[in-house]
Amino acid sequence: LTPYVRWIGPVREEDKAALYRLASVFVFPSLLEGFGLGPLEAMGSGTPVVACEASSIPEVAGDAAFLVAPGDSRAMGGAILSLLTQPEHAATMRNRGLARARGFSWRATAEGTLAAYEQVIRARRRGEASPIVCGEGISRVRRRCTDTKTSEVCQTSEVCSRSSATG
């Protein structure tokens, strides 16, 4: 494995873009992600992505990454090999990734965050319970919300009227 895989450890932020661009494939076997910035950055750099079909990754990656079932090392290996040995397939995934990454921006993130804050402010002004957007805006991510009146805990990814949330 050593001749083919480089285990580089922690990477400084300023070095990431070059590493993404130089990689033949970005492999992301994570099972629990809040968003999935790594695959998105790799796709934005034109690097084909192989990742687990878990957490928020399918929503972030869409059809622009080769997604495999969590724990299926054979499928993960097959996906990596197909991208390394089939240039046409790698080019297709590279183009899909670049297109997918263009659909995300820090500006849109900031605008969505502002809209959520404005929703809370409007609800408070009307004397309503403040809604909490659970799941960090990603429908597949779940967070625990606790109703402070009843101490009831729910698992949700919807906007709810619970008055506190813990991750």
Provide the pLDDT confidence category of residue 136 given band limits of 50, 70 and 90: very low
pLDDT tens column, 56-65: 999 999 999 9
Helix (H, G, I), strand (E, B) or coil at 69: coil
Q: What pLDDT score does 132 carry?
A: 58
Amino acid at 89: H
Helix count and strand count (H, E) for the chain:
6, 8
Q: What pLDDT score does 3 carry?
A: 80
Residue 106 pLDDT > 80? yes
Residue 130 pLDDT > 70? no
